[in-house]
């Protein structure tokens, strides 16, 4: 009987050990945490394990920010930390991976701060926002709209080892203001 229990425990560990960190509270395989620094200001972190891709970490981090804003009865959030999530530059950053965005016109910097290079994580400060505010990706977002965009990626079908499937990062691209209508 002891041997059967030991084999079952080993099988569970093998299955858990071969999967990316799921979107959940921090636990043995990674996950999110947040800490309120002052009213309306939070530090949000998502830690991955050795099977978690940087794209999954960034997507899960953004998703947690949306959930936190909505749970605290705010309509949006602004990233206060010095993160470049979107750039048209082709340069590199010491603490980022470069991933092409949809259409090939830009690049998404995934700002993964690495304590152990095999385990990516992202930690940054955000300010929760109430209306009126104008979302200005990639620094400030409407929480409900971003959550609706990310929800199928986070809660839907996942890819390799439970990671977020590669996808266009159009939600991080700055939106150009609309030109006034011409009369005539």
Specify the residue for token string 């990626």: 153
Cα–Cα distance, 63 to 80 (Å, whole number) = 16
When pLDDT is averaged across residues 150-161 and rounded to a whole number, the result is 95
Give the single-character DSSP code of 118: T
| Tens of pLDDT, residues 106-116 | 444 445 444 44
pLDDT at 125: 96
pLDDT at 117: 56
Q: Is the pLDDT of residue 43 over 90?
A: yes
Q: Which residues of the chain form beta strands (DSSP E)?
A: 31-38, 41-47, 76-79, 86-87, 96-100, 107-111, 113-116, 119-129, 140-142
Closest CA to 171 of 124, 129, 136: 136
Lowest-confidence pick of 83-97, 108-122, 128-142, 156-170:
83-97
When pLDDT is averaged across residues 117-130 and rounded to a whole number, the result is 89
């Amino acid at each position: 009987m002891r041997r059967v229990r030991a084999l079952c425990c080993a099988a569970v560990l093998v299955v858990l050990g071969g999967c990316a960190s799921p979107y959940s509270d921090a636990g043995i395989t990674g996950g999110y945490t947040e800490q309120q620094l002052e009213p309306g200001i939070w530090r949000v972190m998502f830690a991955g394990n050795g099977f978690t891709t940087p794209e999954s970490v960034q997507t899960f981090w953004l998703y947690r920010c949306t959930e936190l804003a909505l749970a605290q009865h705010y309509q949006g959030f602004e990233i206060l930390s010095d993160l470049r999530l979107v750039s048209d530059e082709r340069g590199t950053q010491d603490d980022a991976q470069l991933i092409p965005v949809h259409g090939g016109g830009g690049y998404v910097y995934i700002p993964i701060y690495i304590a152990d290079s095999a385990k990516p994580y992202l930690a940054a400060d955000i300010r929760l926002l109430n209306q009126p505010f104008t979302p200005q990706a990639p620094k400030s977002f409407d929480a409900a709209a971003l959550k609706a965009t990310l929800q199928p990626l986070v809660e839907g079908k996942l890819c390799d080892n439970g990671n977020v499937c590669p996808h266009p990062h159009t939600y991080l691209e700055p939106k150009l203001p609309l030109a006034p209508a011409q009369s005539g």
